[in-house]
């Protein structure tokens, strides 16, 4: 197996071509950095990064772009590629779609998915430390992941028990409200802020269950007590026959 093929598999870009790579010991930052130069496969048709439509090429773009990938142990990974542009009938001249990242992101799709999953299970400050990014990057990633999922996912699919909680992602009373499937730990929904107004938006965008589907239990912490803001919103909006329970 060639070295470039092995690196491609390690960083999860099997659908692209790894042209070459550099491994540099950045002593100033006390870290080892792997920079991988990639490109789409030649048989891949150029597509609009906004809608995915096959489009004619426009030009070779304005240079290279870089994305942060998932670390390989202690090694920090970056992907670099020349970004060509296409002419889309709907969106005009835009950068071409790539297989390893979503439009407008400085991180690979695998990196963003990992951050979103961890943010549903631990404080964003801990996620930022573990992934070696700023809390602002974590906040932006969560916002993008939620936006991409909106309208494409049945938020109540298979749900019978959910947990509602507020997660502090930095000092100064900065929170993210999350809704999680109690059985699988799957992040169902998340939004910046906390309180009645924020949680109400979950019930505004969440489709009502179809026949035979019913959320039977909604759990929360102290905010779920009789006079807590979670309990108030649940009583007003959760018209699914669910019972509520507060944590310790």
Domain residues of the chain, as ranges?
Answer: 3-105, 151-246
Mean per-residue pLDDT pooled into runs of 10, the chain (248 residues)? 77 86 84 92 89 91 89 93 92 93 92 90 89 92 82 67 80 78 80 84 66 64 64 71 49
pLDDT of residue 159: 74
- Per-residue confidence (pLDDT) for residue 123, from 0 to 100: 86
Q: Give the 3-state secondary structure of the chain.
A: CCHHHHHHHHHCCCCEEEEEEEEEEECCCCEEEEEEEEEECCCCCCEECCCCCECCEEECCCCEEEEEEEEECCEEEEEEEECCEEEECCCEEEEECCCCCCCCCCECHHHHHHHHHHHCCCCHHHHHHHHCCCHHHHHHHHHHHHHHHCCCCCCCCCCCEEEEEEEEEECCCEEEEEEEECCCCCEEEEEECCCHHHHHHHHHHCCCCCCCCCCCEEEECHHHCCCCHHHHHHHHHCCCCCEEEECC
Instruction: Specify the pLDDT at position 227.
Output: 61
For 151-246, the fitting CATH number among 3.30.420, 3.90.1570, 3.40.720, 1.10.30 is: 3.30.420
């Amino acid at each position: 197996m060639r070295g470039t093929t092995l690196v491609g598999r390690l960083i999860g870009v099997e659908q692209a071509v790894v042209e070459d790579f550099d491994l540099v010991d950045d002593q100033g930052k006390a870290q080892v950095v792997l920079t991988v130069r990639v490109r789409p496969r030649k048989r891949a048709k150029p597509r609009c990064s906004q809608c995915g439509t096959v489009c004619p090429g426009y030009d070779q773009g304005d240079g290279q772009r870089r994305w942060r990938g998932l670390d390989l142990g202690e090694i920090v990974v970056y992907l670099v590629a020349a970004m060509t542009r296409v002419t889309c009938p709907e969106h005009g001249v835009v950068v071409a779609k790539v297989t390893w990242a979503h439009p407008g992101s400085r991180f690979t799709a695998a990196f963003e998915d990992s951050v979103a999953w961890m943010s549903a299970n631990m404080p964003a400050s801990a996620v930022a430390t573990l992934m070696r990014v700023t809390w602002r990057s974590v906040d932006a990633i969560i916002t993008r992941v939620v936006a991409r999922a909106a309208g494409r996912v049945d938020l109540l699919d298979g749900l019978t028990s959910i947990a509602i909680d507020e997660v502090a992602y930095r000092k100064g009373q900065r929170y993210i409200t999350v809704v999680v499937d109690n059985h699988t730990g799957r992040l169902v929904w998340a939004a910046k802020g906390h309180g009645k107004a924020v949680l109400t938006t979950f019930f505004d965008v969440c489709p009502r269950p179809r026949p035979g589907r019913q959320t039977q239990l909604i759990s929360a912490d102290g905010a779920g007590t009789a006079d807590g803001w979670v309990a108030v919103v649940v009583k007003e909006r959760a018209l699914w026959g669910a019972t509520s329970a507060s944590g310790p």
